[in-house]
Structure 1
Amino acid sequence: MTVLHGLLTERSRARAERRRLESIDRATARLAVLALTSEALTVAGDVVSRGWLQDTWFAWRDADGRELTAGSSAAHTVPLDAVTRACLVGALVVGAGGTTSQVLRPAVEATWRGVHGGGEALRWQRSPEEAAVQVRELTAWNDRAGRDAEQVTALLASAVEAVERERASARDGLVALTR
């Protein structure tokens, strides 16, 4: 019985260690996404500071110096490195590096949370429908009459602060797992 008990105890320890290492992997991945999200929000704030738009997502100059604009339906075709002005959501797209970036959803969510009072942790697996609602609400918030660039940059700065608070908390959780 002692040998069997020792084997079961060893298996239990191995399972517990595997679960602990999996938790460390998840926490490390979360920290990486939070760092990239913070950077995307910071870049978005820089974009808005250079030039802000309402009623369209992006403006850029073509090779002939003409200003072109595009809305949400053409977001995937915009040369992001040439954007001279953007609305809130357009700036988030630029900051994240494109519409297919995995950082775009958490950046949108952190910003949306700022409009709606924040509080809860970022949810990573929102459905595409929920994410689309957030984008529409942020677009409407941006385009509201009386809105100005300073309010948009303040919202983005607030989102950066919230993500950095969450990042500090996640870092503390990771430290606790590694002890």
Structure 2
Amino acid sequence: MPDSLLQQPLLAPVGLRTRWRDRRRLHRVDRLGARLARLDAVDAVLARAHDRLASGWVQDAWFTTIDDEGVQLHVGTLRAHDGERSERACLVAAVAIESLPGTITGPVAQRAIGTMWNVLHGGGVSSDWGTPPGVTAARAYDLVRWNDATDRRQTDVLALVSASRASLAHTTTAVRTELTNASA
């Protein structure tokens, strides 16, 4: 054997506790990274919905569109890809359209609806987890009723979306800090 190999110190074997601790830390980093990705996805949907609502907002319809003859139509149902070329949209339809395929049953749309509903009712961010479809539907219905109130204005709707994004930003900052600490 060459003398250089004999002079190298032997590495101490890694103990079982150390491996478990490292595995738990990496699992925590993965969970925090996934949570951060969910928060970012919800924020992106809400940003696009805000832009859509800023360019045109409607009450008592999912969205409005102009047909081939120039007639404005108020559309009361939303199907996949409907509303992509809409002129104006209500709060929930804007989220559904920006969460194509035009539904609020997807996980990102559910979390966006949940976040807005919680902010509207003074709660915290709920965009970290999905809710059962029935809960999402009830929250969406409540947001539609709020959107369609006679005293509601476009500025109120935009303020709710902005407040929801601010709430998400606060949570995102906390998760980023936690992720930084977990990675160290």
Give TM-score scaled by structure 2 length. Answer: 0.83
| AA matched with 1:15 | W
Q: Which has the higher contact order (CA 8 A, sep 6+)?
A: 1
The reply to whether residue 75 of structure 1 matches residue 78 of structure 2 is yes
1:156 counterpart (152, 161, 168): 161
User: 2: distance between equivalents of 1:76 and 1:88?
Assistant: 16
The reply to whether residue 137 of structure 1 matches residue 142 of structure 2 is yes
**What is the aligned-residue identity percentage?**
31
Indicate if the aligned counterparts of 1:48 and 1:91 stay in contact, CA closer than 8 A.
yes
Q: CA RMSD in A?
A: 2.1
2:17 counterpart (2, 7, 12): 12
- Partner deviation per Cα, 1:5-33 (whole Å, 9 max, x = no partner): x98x7222222222211111111111111
| AA matched with 1:86 | A
Cα 1:80–1:29 change in 2 (3 A) is: farther
**How far is 1:39 from its partner?**
1.4
Cα 1:78–1:69 change in 2 (3 A) is: farther
User: 2: distance between equivalents of 1:121 and 1:92?
Assistant: 16
User: Computing the radius of gyration over CA atoms, which structure comes out larger, 1 or 2?
Assistant: 2
User: 2: distance between equivalents of 1:46 and 1:132?
Assistant: 23
**Secondary structure class of the residue paired with 1:91:** helix
Number of residue pairs the alignment of both structures matches = 171
2:94 counterpart (91, 96, 114): 91
Point out where structure 2 has 5 or more consecutive residues left out of the alignment. Answer: 1-11
User: 2: distance between equivalents of 1:101 and 1:152?
Assistant: 22
User: 1: distance between equivalents of 2:128 and 2:106?
Assistant: 16
User: 2: distance between equivalents of 1:64 and 1:24?
Assistant: 55
2:170 counterpart (143, 165, 168): 165
- Partner deviation per Cα, 1:127-159 (whole Å, 9 max, x = no partner): 112111111110111011111111000111111
| AA matched with 1:151 | D
| AA matched with 2:129 | W
Give TM-score scaled by structure 1 length. Answer: 0.85
Instruction: Quote the residue 1:113 is aligned against.
Output: 118
Instruction: Quote the residue 1:3 is aligned against.
Output: none
Instruction: Quote the residue 2:129 is aligned against.
Output: 124
Structure number with higher helix proportion: 1
- Partner deviation per Cα, 1:53-109 (whole Å, 9 max, x = no partner): 1111112234444333323xx322343431211011011112323315431011111
User: 1: distance between equivalents of 2:36 and 2:55?
Assistant: 29
**Secondary structure class of the residue paired with 2:39:** helix
Indicate if the aligned counterparts of 2:52 and 2:89 stay in contact, CA closer than 8 A.
yes
